[in-house]
Structure 1
Amino acid sequence: MAKKRNAAPHRSGFCAIIGRPNVGKSTLLNRVLGEKLSIVSPKPQTTRNRVLGVLTRPDLQVAFLDTPGIHRARGGLNRFMVDQALGALPEVDCVLYLIEPGLVRDAAAPSGVRVEIGEVNQFIVEKLRDAGKPVILGINKIDTLPRHELLPVIEAWKDALPFAAIFPLSALKGEGVEALVDLIGEQLPEGPALFPEDVFTDVAERFLVSEFVREQILRSTRQEVPYSTAVVVESFDEAEREREGRGLVRIFSRIYVERDSQKAIIIGKRGEMLKKIGTASRLEIERLLGCKVFLSLEVTVEPRWSEREDALRRLGYSS
């Protein structure tokens, strides 16, 4: 009689998703979870806070930390964002270091392209080396280039760190994402689940509501306005959601900007922009909460809030 093989051990642990702004960290987390948890936009520096997303399978539980993009920090808000990202490294079991291909057309190069790693990525590599955690290099956005151009990217990066693996993927298309999760699982210790099976985040609903409003501001406005905006939920009344047969949450959110001109842009002519932001935000919040939402938005000028420690602390951007 053949000897029965032992089942694979259950693994669980924390994985930080680290990288420069706009490399697709939040898109990847949402894809892995099958839920919209982190806001996304075409603009860099969309994510400002660490966001926990938990993936649970019968054989595996991965607690992902989506982190703000690491960049040259100028001003209090930017320093907070970089601290949020780097501060995750001591707390995790492994790191997914997400990059873009970084290709530049160059007729003088043998392959017709050259790879730009850049100063910020070199800074990140040094921080990862100091952290001493297993690192998987994820090359994202492979749907944007011919496959033969992947080889120069891998060649340019393979000696930057002793990576546990170098893995090409497309977070947007979902290509390679399941196999990447398996690979991350191999870096985690054996052990029971760290969170209940039905938990996919520890983020409060109020925080997610404020993020969904900020996402619509990012998508609807241009220039400096999105980066000078903070959103605070001041009132979250669930009384009517809790009554049998009535599903309604009343939410009042305050949008902070730094100048009168920015306030005028967000409100728009005859209030049209603020109405557009509110309508799009409400639809996302209703999907999140699973009930009808009455959303009220007000815009307030808070001069230089992104540079002042007292304002940063009050608006939730202080370590």
Structure 2
Amino acid sequence: MSNQQPGWFPDPSDAKKMRWWDGNEWAVHVSRDGAVWEEPLVAKTIGLKRRSRWVWVLLALGLLVAVALLSPLVALVALVVLVTGIVGISKGSGTWLRLKSRRTAIGVTAGAALVFLMAGSVSAAMVPGETGAPTAVETAQSAEARSEATPRRTSTPTPTPVTTSREEVVTEVIPFERSTVEDANIARGETTISVSGQDGERTITYVVTVVDGVETGRELKSDVETVAPVTEVTTVGTYDAPPEPAPPAEPTCDSNYADACVPIASDVDCAWGSGNGPAYFDGVAKVVGRDIYGLDRDGDGLACER
């Protein structure tokens, strides 16, 4: 795809996903069902695995050549690998070979057995008449016997969890409520507490489940009001006292004169006269008492008559 324009194309490692091609190489951005994320291309890892397999093949060919040239030393190395592989397979451990899977361990062990047989055959051909060397089968059997003689680690039985239950009682306070009543016998603005409030009490019982000393559950068993709360009552006065009577108005007309209002002052003169006041009377009034201002000059009983 070296000449392909940038865009989304099926992922070469997984056709269910789309991968971004930037025009030169595959990018790390992948997409599926509208979601986009970053994911390295798996195809590179697969290529590395394939190259590692070819390395193993080349090593095997080189080992065959070494068997032909250095059969005693190769036989010794193959024997060590064979014994270690058998022990690793029987125990299920990686040993010093660091084999990642059981299949790989079996393959390496089988290859070591084959190399050991070939090296033994080459050594026997080069040194005729020499007997007493252990065969590959005997070596494998002795390795298996040593493996069986090795004590194996036994698994520790899982202890059975201990489950218990207990009751737990909790006491809670019930706050009292407040109410207000009106009283027409108490002056407005005055208040008094006629009934004092008192908190109540409730008792709650739980069933608690405990597993190995740790609380795992809590269930309500009962909720009882053991003491009832007392509502606080506040009395508010609503009585309004009647207003006080207004003081009598001071008279503005002198009672010594009638039929007209002669003002009350330190001195009153007729409005048409030459007096200097400070108050003046404009009209004619009847003298019914004493003529304290001297308004009836002719004594006929009429004040300020012309």
> Which structure has more strand as a fraction of its residues?
2
How does the TM-score come out when normalised to structure 2? Answer: 0.17
How does the TM-score come out when normalised to structure 1? Answer: 0.17
Larger Rg: 2
> Which structure has more helix as a fraction of its residues?
1
